[in-house]
Copies of this chain bind each other. A is one copy, B any other.
Amino acid sequence: MRRGMKKMSKKVGLPPGTLVHIGEKKNEKIRISVIEYSEEQFQEKEIDNIEVCFPPKDKNTITWINIDGVHNLNFIENIGKCFNLHSLTLEDIVNTGQYPKIEDYGNYLYIVLKMLYYDRINNEIEVEQVSLCLGSNFVISFQEETERDVFDAVRERIRNGKGRMRKMGADYLMYSLIDAVVDSYFLILEDIGEKIEIFEEQVVSTPTEKVFHEIHNFKREMIFLRKSVWPLREVVAAMERGDSSLIQESMHIYFRDVYDHTIRVIETIETFRDLLSGILDIYLSSISNRINSVMKVLTIIATIFMPLTFMAGVYGMNFKYMPELEWRWGYPLILTVMAFIGISMLVYFRIKKWL
């Protein structure tokens, strides 16, 4: 997950409301899908011509326009004119370094979310911006990437027409999309949780510096993850409170549910941070423990052999008058004494629990 300020600095000096795409996937093709439905009818189409304008037809059908790819500025401006979107909204749609936020422009609500994917190979969290515009009878969703999304289940529910989906308004559709995004966070949290458990085992079994750096990188990812999710709390809370007339009062109970999920996601991230800090503490304490145990080995060796070497040195002196040297049993005696000293030391260390 890269930081957002690189993206921002490209825009310095431009007048506010200027559309500058800030992202990486400029060469890919835009995909536009339009779904129109009411309780009785359902229509789905893919659109190629990015110059066409699709104003919502009448009050009885709900239109969901999903746009994958926000790098074609002409197209975004065209859409903005069709649906009467404010230039600041369009600026935020193409500038994908936003944090989650909600803005009420009177005739429509603008919501920014982050879709998250976990890259297991690099242990990185990838982030994609999703912008949602909710009008009285339409929802437009803008996605940064053209490949992945988490809205398939919602599409399927509209298609098969069962359940509440087709009976409710555009606000329920938007709720479903937000719910899909928040639910997808749990998949990532599960992956992260598993990775943390692996770290926990590694740091006890093989506390190498490599593992340490991996954990550190992972902790840094958590900082960015938190930044992407934390503001969502207020976004959903604002929808739960129902400040906007575009969200019916009967929807509040649903947004309260999303709010609960968001709180759970945030608290789980906090818990992960606590856990990772704990794991790093274990690592550091294990280094200290290792220094301690290395020191012990050194001290044991030195404490046993230094006195013995000294004794050997004494009887290696060349004094003329050293009576012990003449003794018949001098040599075996000194070896015995040396063995005794060595074994005593070992016993002493055993008692001191160094061995």
| A contact face: mostly helix, strand, loop, or mixed | helix
B254 touches A88 (CB 8 A): yes
CA distance A268 to B298 in the complex (A): 45
CB proximity of A307 to chain B, nearest CB, Å: 6
Of A70-78, A127-135, A136-144, A212-220, the one with at least 4 CB within 8 A of chain B: A212-220
Q: Is the CB of A287 within 8 A of B288?
A: yes
List residues 271-313 of chain A with CB under 8 A from any CB of chain B.
271, 274-275, 278, 280-292, 294-299, 301-303, 305-310, 312-313
CB distance from A346 to the nearest CB of B (A): 13
Question: In the complex, what residues of B have CB within 8 A of residue A88's CB?
Answer: 253-254, 257
Give the distance to chain B from A292, nearest Cβ to Cβ, in Å.
5
Q: Please judge, given known A-B contacts A189-B5, A319-B331, whether A285 and B287 are in contact too, CB under 8 Å.
A: yes
Q: Are A184 and B12 in contact (CB under 8 A)?
A: yes
For A101, the chain B residues whose CB sits under 8 A away are 260
- Bound together, the chains give a CA A209 to CA B293 distance in angstroms of 11
Asked whether any CB of chain B lies closer than 8 Å to the CB of A183, the reply is yes
Residues of B close to A187: CB separation below 8 A: 9, 12
Given contacts A296-B294, A297-B303, contact A180 B13 (CB under 8 A): yes
Q: Which residue on B lies nearest to A157, using beta carbons?
A: B15
Check if A314 is an interface residue, CB within 8 A of chain B. yes
Contact with B along A234-250 (1 / 0, CB 8 A): 00000000000000000
Closest CB of chain B to A122's CB: distance in Å? 16
